[in-house]
Copies of this chain bind each other. A is one copy, B any other.
C-alpha cells in the first residue's frame, strides 16, 4: 500500500500514523480531520499532509476510519462514490454491529473490514498520540478477507505489537458489553450514587474507591455512541448485574469465591 488515509485524526488515528511510521511504513499518510487536529498530527509527524475526504478516498489504498462511531457511520454513507474498488476500508469504532451493517448497506464498490484496536488513554486528540498505544493490546478484526491490503494491514498490526483477534461483529459487541461497557456503567453508577448519598466519602477514600471510580471519570460524550449502538447487549448485561447483586445479598460467600476466581484468572491469562 502506497497511500494510507486516516479519517479522524485524534488519539487513535494519530497513534495509527505514528505506529505505522515506527514499524517502518514509508508510503504517504493523509489525514482528514479538523484544521486543529491536522495541525497537531502534522506537528507530531503522524501524517504527511491534510486532505479532503474526496481526495483521501481517491488516493488511498487503505482508509482507516477513526472518528467517533456516529462519524464513521456518516462517512460510510457517503464513501461509496469516492473510493477506488481496490481500496480496503477499515475502522476503529468501539462497537461493530452497527458499523458492519452500515458498511454492508452503503459501501458496495470496495471491501470493508471492521476493526477495533482496544487501546486508549485518558488524554484525547492527536497531541496525545503514541506510536506504542497498541502494543500488547487486542486488535479485533471482524473477518479475514482475501484481499492484498487486508493482508498488509494484518502484518502492520502484528508489527505494532498488538494481538489480532478475529470475532464477528455480534460476538464482539456481546463480549464488549460484558468486559468493557458493563464495567464502565458499574463504575459510573457507583460514583453517581456516592455523589448523591455520601459526598463526604472523599475524606476516608482509600485506593479501592479510587480504582472503582476511575472509569467513572469518562465523559458521556465518549459513551453516547457506544450506548446507542449496543443497546440490547448493554441492557441485558445491566439486568444480569442487578440480578447478581441480589444473589450476592443472599449469599456473600459463593459470590466472593466466584468473583475472586475470575479476577485471578483474568490476571493469569494476561
Contact surface of A with B, Cβ cutoff 8 Å? 118-120, 137-138, 140, 165, 174-176, 178-180, 182-206, 208-220, 223-224, 227, 235, 237-238, 240-242, 244-246, 248-249, 252-253, 255-267, 269-270
Query: Would you mind naming 9 contact pairs between A and B with Cβ atoms under 8 Å apart?
Result: A174-B198, A183-B208, A183-B211, A186-B245, A189-B248, A193-B240, A218-B260, A224-B253, A238-B245
A25 to chain B, nearest CB (A): 26
Q: Give the residue of B180, B191, B201 whose beta carbon is less than 8 angstroms from that of A206.
A: B180
Are B203 and A165 within 8 A (Cβ)? yes
What DSSP secondary structure best describes chain A's contact surface?
A: helix
- In the complex, besides A165-B203, A193-B244, A205-B266, 17 extra interface pairs with C-beta distance below 8 angstroms are A175-B198, A175-B201, A178-B201, A179-B204, A179-B206, A180-B204, A180-B206, A183-B190, A185-B248, A192-B259, A195-B262, A199-B265, A208-B215, A212-B212, A216-B263, A218-B260, A224-B252
Decide: A256 near B178, CB < 8 A? Known: A263-B216, A266-B210.
no
- Give the complex CA separation of A257 and B186 in angstroms: 14
Contacts of A212 in B (CB 8 A): 183, 186-187, 211-212, 215
Contacts of A217 in B (CB 8 A): 260, 263-264, 267
- Give the complex CA separation of A267 and B213 in angstroms: 10
Contacts of A257 in B (CB 8 A): 220
Decide: A178 near B197, CB < 8 A? Known: A137-B206, A208-B183.
yes
Contacts of A211 in B (CB 8 A): 183, 211-212, 214-215
Contacts of A260 in B (CB 8 A): 188, 191, 216-220
- Give the complex CA separation of A221 and B41 in angstroms: 52
Decide: A223 near B256, CB < 8 A? Known: A140-B204, A178-B201, A208-B180.
yes
Contacts of A223 in B (CB 8 A): 252, 256
- Give the complex CA separation of A19 and B200 in angstroms: 28
